[in-house]
Amino acid sequence: MLSFFFRIVQVVIFAMVLLFLPSSFAMAQLAQSPYSRIGVGLNAQSMSLPNFAMGGLGISNPNSKHLNSQNPALLRFNSLTTFEAAITSEYKNLEGQDAQFTDFSGNLASVAFAFPVSPKWTIGLGFQAATVISYANIETAYLPRTQVFTRFENQGEGGISQLYFNTGAKIWKELSVGVRANYNFGFLRDRTQSILDDGQNEFIIELLDRRNVSDFSFEGGLHYRFKPAGKASHSFINLGVTYALGTSLKTTEFRAFQRKLFDEALLESDTLFSNNAGSIQIPSSWRLGISLQRPIEEVARTQKRSAYTIGIDVSLENWAEYSDSKIPNDSLQQAVTIAFGGELIPNVRATSILSRTTYRAGLRYERSAIMLRGQHIDNLSLHAGITLPARSSFSGLNIAAAVGQRGTLENGLVRERYVRISLGLTILDRWFVRRRYE
């Protein structure tokens, strides 16, 4: 019965991935945030669901049963052909000094595929959201010395998505190296409207800005592990590091004034410029990780039963290096992210599904690059999740959730409290194996 349920869930998730994929190439959007209007938007936190369930832990800890998009060097541990996909949804409550607002949204989070070329070398490719823009601000007032009522609306949407190719290989003893190439694409759209109502007619004056982003970026990673107590030990200490090159993303810009009726029917349009070349400078970043791990493979070689991982990651991004040909200075600072988390499989050898289930938890703190009115816009979240294993295969059903808070009510700012729930699947199989018959 459970196996049948697992197959039904797999089909549902796969169908939803196919449904969301076309829209995700245009926009990977979650619930609204006024802070997403700054820079290129908020970090989408798109990663493998097992890593997300541990607060984003993933720079040093390999996992042969799941793909890791955070450190390409860890890909070499995936000795089976692996496909992963995940969808995500977010409910958010936004609170200011005088108002409160709730929002809900969801979309495809990531798709990834990898296969081994040799026992020491694996290559992969995938899709994920990188940044998200989604905001809407409304103000109302009377025009000076008139009885004409005006509503001002500022809306933004879009973000940057990535198609990536990554590869990882073992080059010496327990030292692995990996590289990742990203094709960054998407759009950043800002629409400012003045809606006038003189009691007889309603019409809209709109300034529309849209920038299309299209360019490549690159990053590399290293991983090394060792047994702290020699060969007699059944656990490893993992060390990982990644470095992403700073890059200038090419943009094409469009701007137009439009006058519309209240039903959005266009009355006239004046294009100020179209296909103007521009650029956005994205800063470099370092990510470091250390973890203690007893992997499944080590359990299989010994009399141990449980497998576990516990670790911590630190990420540094100097967004003071950020520059934008359209917005000269967005007052961004250095960003720091700390992720602490772990996972546990109680009994790898058990026949019980619950004993073979992987349980995960983590804590994530982000001191974002945004500083407004003397306040850092921090993001703190608590994560948890599980992977339910299929009874007769290597595959699994991944569930992850996070609750968190971004921002503050101090100095007239906005506080966001959110719940994010994600659902995904991992399918593993052996490909390219030459069968022998006797």
Average pLDDT by consecutive 10-residue portion of the chain (438 residues)? 51 50 52 89 88 96 92 95 92 88 88 93 94 86 72 89 96 95 94 74 82 95 91 88 95 88 78 88 95 91 90 94 71 92 94 92 95 89 95 84 94 94 90 52
**Residue 197 pLDDT:** 65
Q: What pLDDT does residue 195 have?
A: 79
Tokens of 288: 């470091």
For residue 27, the model assigns a pLDDT of 52
Are 54 and 361 spatial neighbours (Cβ–Cβ below 8 Å)? yes
Residue 5 CA, chain-centre distance (Å), reads: 28
Provide the pLDDT for residue 7: 52
Distance CA 394, CA 368 (A): 38
CB 58 within 8 A of CB 68: yes
Cβ atoms within 10 Å, residue 214: 14
pTM, entire model = 0.88
Report pLDDT for 25.
Answer: 46
> What is the CATH number assigned to the segment(s) 2-128+159-186+222-249+285-429?
2.40.160
Are residues 93 and 112 in contact, defined by beta-carbon separation less than 8 angstroms?
A: no
Name the pairing type of β-strands 334-345 and 307-318. Answer: antiparallel
pLDDT for res 3: 53
For residue 124 the two structure tokens come to 């992969």
Q: How confident is the model at residue 437, as a pLDDT?
A: 46
Predicted pLDDT at 328: 55
Residues 369 and 321: beta-carbon distance below 8 Å: no
- Cα 229 from chain centroid (whole Å): 36
**Model pLDDT, residue 26:** 44
Distance of CA 265 to the CA centre of its chain: 36
Rg (CA), the chain: 24
